[in-house]
Structure 1
Amino acid sequence: MRRQFLFLAATAPALLVAPGLAHAAARRRASPPLAQRRLELRHAATGARFEGPYHNGVDFDAGAMRELSIVLADTRTGTVRPFDPKAIDILWEVGARERMASFNVLSGYRTPASNAAVHGAGDSQHMRAAALDVQVPKAKLASFGHAALALGRGGVGSYPDHGFVHVDSGPVRSWGFDRAAGVARAPARTPEQIRLDRMAEAWAQTRRR
């Protein structure tokens, strides 16, 4: 009888603790896995692509960011500059809001010489590797631009006549939007900018063949 009592006394703490451990294990099993952030991105001028996760749910993936920096390199010289992860995150978040999983990028990083060649702003975020000009289908262009504005992070420019939206991780600002009418308007484009846009698309067409 004494041995039976001692056995019950020894196992009682385990019986008391076990339910708590079981609940903790159940909570761990029920916790959702960390959500990866994935992108499918193509540079229109070069045909270079990135497809896959760039963030593991906790931090940016260094290898993926190196690949993205190469895809978004300056198209005139091939110069690569580490791309700003915050700009990539802006694109991903706007895409998630707009249910867009794939992006066609017209311009990423630009060297100062390339920026001058397309008459970019003297303080363009493209020169910081912190800006993306993204082709957007006409039906989604206005909502994409306004979704980017709603984030309140960085700059947003709308170019509906040319079918793209600019997003960057610089100071919060916007252009090309008629707020009174709730629609986007395109800033005037120089003939040189239009010519270079056409050249980029023509080059992209040759890469698709």
Structure 2
Amino acid sequence: MTLRLPRPFRPFASVGLLSTLCVVVLLGAVTPSASARRFESRRHPRLRAIAHAFVNVALPGMGLLPDDEAELPVEGQKYELKLVHPSGEMIDVVYRVGDTYVPEALDKLSNFLRDSHNQEVTTFDPRTFDVLHTMLAKVGKSTGVINILSAYRTQETNDALRASGTTNAAEHSQHIEAKAIDLRLPGVSAATLRDAALSLGAGGVGYYPKGQFIHVDVGPVRQWTFAPHSGKKHSRHRRRA
């Protein structure tokens, strides 16, 4: 007669098996099912489209202002802007070379972007031009001509626009500080321009679907959409257009 002894208890093997079971259970708890993954991929199709719709170009850093023309670089990337007023007045200028702004070109742009109501001129924030240039590159229109609807406004002009009730000018507008531009770009929808501007994270972006134009500025980062049917603005942050 053969006596069978019981198998010895092997605690480490049991612990190993238990650990494996725990890992399997945990993975099952945190790993989404195929249907869940498909649902997640459908949740924000517009956000995925924005991420891949634009040319991969970054906003340049703040440029330098030389003391005199002799310090202007002869080599480097040239930043060109083409702008046009509703009146037909147009400007085509290289305002920056490499990391250096061109003072004469900045003066020309500031004059072009003057208050259209009283012709007053002030120095425009050059970072606004960098936003315009990069936005054009983002939508593949580096040589496009931007239609300028509104740029610098004096306090008097802004107050008059607010009092008239014909516009939605903000009380503390970035236009007063020469940091904002309302614009259109022929051949590119306002929604596409808005998304390109938002991707820069460089300041305020306003979207006006009825007028098919956008507002960009280099003030605090925020965004809004003007809803003309209700006369209200839907904003994520306090607006300073």
Name the structure, 1 or 2, with higher relative contact order (CA <8 Å, separation 6+): 1
Q: Identify the residue that residue 228 of structure 2 maps to in structure 1.
A: 188
What corresponds to 2:153 in structure 1? 110
Deviation at 1:137, TM superposition (A): 4.0
CA contact (8 A) 1:155 1:166 kept: yes
CA-to-partner distance for each residue in 1:40-88, whole Å, 9 max, x for gaps? 01122x4332102100112111000000011100011000010110111
Q: Per-residue displacement from partner, 1:89-141 (whole Å, max 9, x unpaired)?
A: 11111011112221010000001111122221111000001100002347522
Match of 2:207 among 158, 162, 180: 158
Correspondence list, 1:44-55, <5 A:
44=86, 46-55=87-96
Q: Does 1:41 align with 2:97?
A: no
Counterpart check, 1:170 vs 2:219: yes
**Is the partner of 2:149 in helix, strand or coil?**
strand
Query: Kindly tell me: are residues 158 and 138 of structure 1, through their superposed partners in 2, closer, same or farther at Cα, counting changes over 3 Å?
Result: farther
Q: In 2, are the aligned partners of 1:138 and 1:160 still within 8 Å (CA)?
A: no
Instruction: Report the CA distance between 1:34 and its aligned residue.
Output: 1.2
Superposition misfits of 4+ residues, deviation over 4 angstroms: none
Counterpart in the other structure of 1:96 = 137
State how far apart, in whole Å, the 1-side matches of 2:222 and 2:155 are. 22
Matches for 1:40-79 after TM superposition, within 5 Å: 40-44=82-86, 46-79=87-120
Question: CA, structure 1 residues 139+53, in 2 after alignment: closer, same or farther (shift >3 Å)?
Answer: closer
Gaps of at least 5 residues in structure 2 are: 1-74, 163-168, 232-241
Gaps of 5+ in 1: 1-32, 177-185, 192-209
Residue 127 to residue 62, structure 1, CA distance change in 2 (3 Å): same
Higher helix share: 1
**Residue in structure 2 matched with residue 133 of structure 1 by the alignment:** 182
Conserved? CA contact 2:146–2:186, under 8 Å: no
Deviations 1:158-204 (CA, angstroms, capped at 9, x unpaired): 1111011100000000001xxxxxxxxx333899xxxxxxxxxxxxx
Matched length = 149
